[in-house]
């Protein structure tokens, strides 16, 4: 290529094809684990980013020779980084205390960066980044599940008779099983059908093991004065 502002059709096709492949590899992992943004979404993001980078670098080559024109290859491509945030935000969901979709949003962001790198001709950097992303999503996911997710936080909602000692028995049962009570909220009291006063207690509990959740809930259900238990 004689000019840095010009590119032939073969190189254009090569870069777009590479963007498709790299984006597809990351998308396959997301699709395999049934996330909101999967195979096609990641391909489209990577391909679109690469095309925008190509357009930013070579789409205005006819103006390169003009005396009053200064070309900035990064100006158009820079908008991809901020623009991908809207797409990533759509994959993030909050359900109670748990937030899901952050990894998928991050994968969309990095796939956009890979697409920009491919469009700019940084083949080695883009391929290496794709390999690293796959390592993070596949290998480190296994490590995370094994070593860092052994404690899980849940909210337990308990409806019980408002009588002396009820809250103490409930708290003691949970702590004796090795779980930590991080937050406790007593909601408005309600009137039962027989006129008895009820209380609704919400406890944010962190369990050392997932296997403890069901036994603890069963024991709470059999406590004296407990009418209902719900896990969130």
Q: Is residue 143 located within the same domain as residue 168?
A: no
Mean pLDDT (the chain, rounded)? 80
Q: Is residue 3 included in any domain, yes or no?
A: no
pLDDT tens-place string over residues 36-65: 677 888 899 999 999 999 988 887 666 666
The dihedral built from the CA positions of residue 93, 95, 96 and 99, taken in this order, carries a sign that is: negative
Highest mean pLDDT among 16-30, 78-92, 155-169, 213-227: 16-30
35-51 burial string, b = 16+ CB within 10 Å, else e?
bebbbebbbbbbbbbbb
Give yes or no for a contact between 153 and 182, defined as CB atoms under 8 angstroms apart: yes
Q: Is residue 26 located within the same domain as residue 59?
A: yes
Final residue before a domain boundary, out of 107, 127, 147: 147
Q: Is residue 220 included in any domain, yes or no?
A: yes
- What integer pLDDT is reported at residue 165 of this predicted model? 78
pLDDT tens-place string over residues 69-117: 676 777 777 888 888 877 777 777 665 555 667 888 888 899 999 999 9
Give yes or no for a contact between 21 and 50, defined as CB atoms under 8 angstroms apart: no
Q: Is residue 142 located within the same domain as residue 159?
A: no
Phi and psi, residue 146, nearest 5°: -80, -40
Q: Is residue 216 included in any domain, yes or no?
A: yes
Q: Is residue 142 located within the same domain as residue 156?
A: no
Indicate the pTM of the whole model.
Answer: 0.63
Q: Please give the Cα distance from 53 to 43 (Å, whole number).
A: 15
Final residue before a domain boundary, out of 124, 147, 170: 147
Is residue 188 over pLDDT 70? Answer: no
Q: Is residue 100 located within the same domain as residue 200?
A: no
Q: What angle do CA 64, 68, 74 make, to 5 degrees?
A: 55
- What integer pLDDT is reported at residue 194 of this predicted model? 61
Q: Is residue 16 located within the same domain as residue 126?
A: yes
Give the containing element (helix H, strand E) for 107: helix 102-120
Query: Where in the sequence is the domain holding 123, given as residue range(s)?
Result: 9-147
Looking up tokens 């209380």, which residue turns up? Answer: 199
Q: Is residue 83 located within the same domain as residue 119?
A: yes
pLDDT tens-place string over residues 108-159: 899 999 999 999 899 999 999 999 999 988 887 777 666 665 557 788 888 8
Q: Is residue 85 included in any domain, yes or no?
A: yes
Q: Please give the Cα distance from 25 to 31 (Å, whole number).
A: 10
Looking up tokens 């391929």, which residue turns up? Answer: 127
Burial grade of 172 (CB within 10 A; 0-12, 13-18, 19 or more): exposed
Phi and psi, residue 110, nearest 5°: -70, -30
Q: Is residue 158 located within the same domain as residue 141?
A: no
């Amino acid at each position: 290529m004689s000019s840095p502002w010009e590119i032939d059709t073969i190189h254009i096709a090569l870069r777009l094809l590479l963007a498709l492949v790299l984006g597809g590899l990351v998308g396959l992992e997301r699709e395999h684990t049934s996330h909101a943004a999967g195979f096609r979404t990641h391909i489209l993001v990577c391909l679109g980013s690469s095309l925008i980078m190509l357009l930013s670098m070579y789409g205005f080559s006819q103006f390169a020779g003009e005396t009053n024109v200064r070309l900035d290859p990064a100006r158009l491509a820079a908008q991809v980084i901020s623009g991908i945030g809207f797409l990533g935000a759509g994959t993030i969901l909050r359900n109670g205390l748990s937030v899901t979709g952050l990894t998928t949003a991050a994968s969309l962001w990095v796939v956009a960066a890979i697409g920009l790198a491919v469009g700019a001709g940084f083949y080695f950097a883009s391929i290496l980044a794709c390999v690293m992303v796959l390592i993070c999503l596949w290998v480190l996911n296994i490590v995370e599940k094994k070593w860092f997710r052994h404690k899980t936080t849940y909210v337990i909602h308990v409806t019980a008779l408002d009588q002396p000692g009820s809250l103490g028995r409930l708290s003691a049962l949970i702590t004796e099983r090795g779980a930590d009570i991080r937050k406790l909220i007593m909601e408005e009291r309600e009137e039962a059908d027989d006129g008895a006063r009820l209380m609704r207690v919400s406890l944010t509990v962190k369990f050392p093991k997932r296997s403890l959740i069901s036994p603890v809930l069963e024991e709470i259900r059999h406590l004296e004065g407990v009418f209902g238990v719900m896990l969130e």
